[in-house]
């Protein structure tokens, strides 16, 4: 089973840059999208239907903002819209599907880069998410959590760790949270298989950052530890350029 996570920075914008053709070429089983930035009535569902993918969506209430979506070849056993907390569900931050063998949680975690109020919101989210996902893993041991976490875990995951030491997304408190998350029993699939530096999933639009590969690795495919024997590969698809992020693929022998 091939699963891709991809922050699109606008699904309609990504389609204009060749997203549909790319999806057909990659031919993954499931695509988890974040930051779809699209109201329900404007979603291009038919375009995905036409290439053989069903889809579910959780747009944000605010138009042109946030939201998540999932494409699938095989209809899920069940679908869960949101995490049950209104302040996060209004922003479309969690969308879940169950296959016969796997629960997939697609998340777009908050960014704190716009100011103190949103950074506070982000810390509140992190406080909520840890017990939430811990309980979920107890109930669904075969759990994959993917998406835009908006946090670099280690210095290897960011192009300039010293100058960004006090930047949202690389704050000590955020990095400590990521460490606790992985210590709790989740596996960072890409880093488990690849210890090389200079692999990133997001680049600023300023000063040619992507061409210079001055990026951040903030998009993750994480799995519960009991799925580790089924992990085949996890790769960053940095040649895909439909967004300021790039996709991350994980392949499980399921």
What CA–CA distance (Å, rounded) separates 141 from 246? Answer: 28
Residue with tokens 């669904």: 140
Q: What is the pLDDT along the chain (254 residues), one digit of tens a residue?
A: 999 999 999 999 999 999 999 999 999 999 999 999 999 999 999 999 999 999 999 999 999 999 999 999 999 999 999 999 999 999 999 999 999 999 999 999 999 999 999 999 999 999 999 999 999 999 999 999 999 999 999 999 999 999 999 999 999 999 999 999 999 999 999 999 999 999 999 999 998 999 999 999 999 999 999 999 999 999 999 999 999 999 999 999 99
Among candidate residues 24, 25, 13, 14, the one with its CA nearest the CA of residue 49 = 24
Residue with tokens 């549909």: 20
Given this model, what pLDDT does residue 195 score?
97
Assigned fold of 2-252 = Deoxyribonuclease I; Chain A (3.60.10)
Given this model, what pLDDT does residue 34 score?
98
Domain ranges of the chain: 2-252
Residue numbers annotated as active site: 148
């Amino acid at each position: 089973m091939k699963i891709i996570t991809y922050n699109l920075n606008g699904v309609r914008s990504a389609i204009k840059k060749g997203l549909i053709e790319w999806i057909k070429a990659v031919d993954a089983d499931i695509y988890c999208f974040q930051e779809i930035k699209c109201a329900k009535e404007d979603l291009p569902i038919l375009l995905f239907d036409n290439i053989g993918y069903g889809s579910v969506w959780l747009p944000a209430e605010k138009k042109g903002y946030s939201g998540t979506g999932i494409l699938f070849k095989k209809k899920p056993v069940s679908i869960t819209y949101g995490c049950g907390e209104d302040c996060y569900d209004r922003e479309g931050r969690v969308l879940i599907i169950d296959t016969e063998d796997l629960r997939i949680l697609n998340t777009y975690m908050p960014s704190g880069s716009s100011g103190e109020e949103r950074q506070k919101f982000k810390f509140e989210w992190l406080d909520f998410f840890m017990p939430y996902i811990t309980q979920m893993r107890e109930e669904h041991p075969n759990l994959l959590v993917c998406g835009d976490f908006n946090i670099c875990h280690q210095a290897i995951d960011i192009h300039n760790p010293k100058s960004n030491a006090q930047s949202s997304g690389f704050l000590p408190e955020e990095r400590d949270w990521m460490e606790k998350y992985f210590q709790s029993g989740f596996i960072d699939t890409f880093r488990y298989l690849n210890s090389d530096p200079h692999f990133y999933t997001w680049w600023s639009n300023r000063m040619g950052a992507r061409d210079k590969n001055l990026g951040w690795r903030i998009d993750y495919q994480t799995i519960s530890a009991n799925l580790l024997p089924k992990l085949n590969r996890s790769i960053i698809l940095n040649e895909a350029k439909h967004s300021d992020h790039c996709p991350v693929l994980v392949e499980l022998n399921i």
